[in-house]
Amino acid sequence: MTQDSFFETLEQQYKNQLPFVVYSRAINSVIKCWLQNDAALHTTSDFSESGFVFAPFDLNNKSILLPERDCEHLTLEISNLDLDEDFKTSSIESKGEVAHIKLVTKGVDTIKNGDLEKVVLSRKVEKDLENENPFTIFKRLFNTYKNAMVYCWYHPKVGLWLGATPELLFKVEGKQLTTISLAGTQPYETDAEVTWTSKEYKEQQIVTDYITKQIEPYTITINVSEVETVRAGNLLHLKTYIHSRIKRESSLKSIIKALHPTPAVCGFPKETSKQFILKNENYNREFYTGFLGELNLKTSKTRNTNRRNVENNAYAVVRTHSNFYVNLRCMQLKGHRAMIYVGGGITKDSIPQKEWEETVNKTKTIANVLS
């Protein structure tokens, strides 16, 4: 399939107001597209179905499912997408400094009082669009963020979301569970020596320790990698891989509930920080800091028994795999406006003014694909 026919099909699906998702996983030249054949709204609560899931920050709200059986599936293998026009990035006005600094100050005070160890506080930034075509924005995201899960998701009864998230919530291949802890943020500067503060290392360690503790009841043989610095666009983060094996009796839903939301998007302790966010952020995150990805898809691999005197040594092994990405570095399109969501982790050492500046840098990261 050519790029033109691939996106023409997508354009027609959007014009017909039918649900779809188009996405490409990190470091991958394959773009996948799911086209739902009707406008029905499907949801999941136990995550036992097969499909593509789009889940909110608060799982008390509905997780939207594009069922695998109700969708047409298209694939495009390409390293770079052609764009019809050049574009210049326009500046984005950051409003709400006073309100965000007040919110962060309240978070720091609450932590110092001993009620929280960490809380992630966010805000929503609005920007007028000159070109609101979501596929143009998707193409720019794909060409710009090669180390991210890039997506455009639409349901006429829910909305239109795009993003380029660098953070894997977790993936499951058979019984093998892989997740990461990602925390700490600083601007990327060419040839500059990278240094991290104790506050940022502590923030990273909180996430790593939390994930390890959360998955322990459901897994065995947990292995934690060394902390490394990774680049995501014009930002740098601290990252750790955590590998384990799922116990036979553990369900996918139990692991989702254990890991979502992580301290990287919510805080610690989880429920206390979540309630602080819902009470004090004064806006609805919706699907920002939720998660999205492939749910319970089956793959078949051929294996060889390596046994003598067997007529056919090869046999097929069918495995189920899922991969979920945290919905960060994302935006929601409503008419001629983009709603950009940004936030940062707050600890007792946080400086409110610097936390505000961090959200401004993160806004620029996602806004640079908007003209």
Nearest Cα neighbor of 344 from 228, 284, 264 is 264
- Residue 253 has phi, psi (to 5 degrees) of -60, -40
Looking at the domain assignment, is residue 359 inside a domain? yes
pLDDT digits over 325-357, tens only? 999 999 999 988 999 999 999 999 999 999 999
Decide which of 210 and 22 is more confident: 22
pLDDT digits over 193-212, tens only? 899 998 889 878 878 888 99
pLDDT(286) > 70: yes
| Tokens 């991958």, located at residue | 28
Looking at the domain assignment, is residue 306 inside a domain? no
Looking at the domain assignment, is residue 95 inside a domain? yes
What DSSP string runs through 295-313? EEEEEEEEEE---TT-S--
Q: Which domain holds residue 292?
A: 3-301+327-367
**pLDDT for residue 369:** 86
pLDDT digits over 97-146, tens only? 999 999 999 999 999 999 898 999 999 999 988 877 999 999 999 999 88
Looking at the domain assignment, is residue 32 inside a domain? yes
Looking at the domain assignment, is residue 120 inside a domain? yes
Write the CB contacts of 298 (distance below 8 Å, at least 6 apart in sequence).
50, 318, 319, 320, 321
Burial class (CB in 10 A: 0-12, 13-18, 19+), 91: exposed
CATH number at residue 49: 3.60.120.10
Decide which of 268 and 246 is more confident: 246
Position 316: which residue type?
Answer: A
* Cβ proximity of 165 and 326 under 8 Å: yes
Q: Tell me how many domains the chain contains.
A: 1
**pLDDT for residue 191:** 82
User: What is the value of pTM for the model shown?
Assistant: 0.89
CA distance 295 to 171: 10
Position 134: which residue type?
Answer: P
Identify each DSSP E strand in the chain by its residue range: 20-24, 30-36, 42-44, 51-55, 63-67, 71-77, 118-128, 149-155, 159-165, 168-173, 176-187, 219-224, 228-232, 235-246, 267-268, 291-304, 314-326, 330-334, 337-346
pLDDT digits over 224-236, tens only? 999 999 887 678 8
pLDDT digits over 72-88, tens only? 999 999 999 998 665 55
Looking at the domain assignment, is residue 235 inside a domain? yes
CA distance 65 to 200: 36
Looking at the domain assignment, is residue 311 inside a domain? no
* Helix or strand holding residue 164 (H, E): strand 159-165
**Token pair recorded at residue 173:** 């291949």
Looking at the domain assignment, is residue 191 inside a domain? yes
